[in-house]
Structure 1
């Protein structure tokens, strides 16, 4: 049981800690909205990691073989989604900045917590890094697949908990960033920098 717990925690932190495009978007989203929205978005990421951990434990090597042909399309789909998010974030930030300065319209409402959860869940499910990571976990850790059902459950829960704790810390950082950059110009710069980073990371997926 302890071995399954430790293995799950290591697997969860292993996929969550590297800061990539999804983490960058999570921090930026929280900074632009609220901690509540960021927490829901963070749980969406953790849910996707938990689902892949579950599939890894019950699917075995057959899952990895089935996912292999899909990695290319998933990489393109994920890159396109991230590019769209980056462009939308930059355009929205510029529009809000201009509208506020011209005082002609109120800013549009931020995404609801439920929408943030579903958006980050979908983005993470499409993230080829997540797919590749858990496929490698299946192929490289036969013992994980051979665990009894109870210990498999402990492994999945531990992986979800580890991912959730890290994503929630990122959301907290985003909330602090948002409080620090309360001015319109600060939020504009933050959004544009985040969009540039996401575009660069999305481009790196296709190289």
Structure 2
């Protein structure tokens, strides 16, 4: 690698890391659901769910890097409907979790979702949020990413890695929470509290 290319590569790497952490770290309904899901299932399920979120963030980072300026005006008219759809899915998942916790007999264990199902569920929920690609597109338009393919590749990879590391940290926290709050009562409290918070955060996506 030539010496004069190093600053460009470094800038793309830093921009990608900052972008990935910037979109991943704010605590929202998806993050809350990820923690709650891991707490009541297994770390393996949580890891796959976390990678689902990171995959969506990486896909949007790629879309923004390749054509952010063109995609933004196309997505803006459907941002609100997609936001409502995302909120509806999250509320449905929260309601289902609360209902299962309240109606499940104490001696019957809830069948946890498979890792692949957890991955696809979190991938789908995150992909329903078009503000993610608008966020990345704003960074592109603001000059945070250059147009060269190597720099774009570094930016997208760094954004995915940053998002994945944060989501995996949330999953680990959920696993620790699940081990701490064992037993029927602990699981019930955790599920109801997380369902309430998920619902509130999901409604916050669409209500002023």
Matched, 1:120 2:139: no
Matched, 1:13 2:34: no
In the alignment, which residue of structure 1 is the partner of 2:6? none
Contact 2:51 2:168 in 1 (8 A): yes
Cα offset, 1:60, TM superposition: 2.9
Moved over 3 A (4+): none
Cα offset, 1:128, TM superposition: 4.2
Matched, 1:166 2:181: no
The TM-score with structure 1 as length reference comes to 0.92
The TM-score with structure 2 as length reference comes to 0.92
Cα offset, 1:110, TM superposition: 0.5
In the alignment, which residue of structure 2 is the partner of 1:137? 139
SS at 1:118 equivalent: helix
Contact 1:71 1:131 in 2 (8 A): no
Residue 36 to residue 120, structure 1, CA distance change in 2 (3 Å): same
In the alignment, which residue of structure 2 is the partner of 1:109? 111
In the alignment, which residue of structure 2 is the partner of 1:55? 63
Contact 1:64 1:138 in 2 (8 A): no
Tell me how far apart the structure 1 counterparts of residues 54 and 199 of structure 2 sit (CA, whole Å). 23
Task: Give the alignment's Cα RMSD to 1 decimal.
Answer: 1.3
Number of residue pairs aligned between Structure 1 and Structure 2: 199
Residue deviations 1:44-100 (CA, integer Å, cap 9, x gap) = 00000000000011013111111111101111101111110110110111122xx11
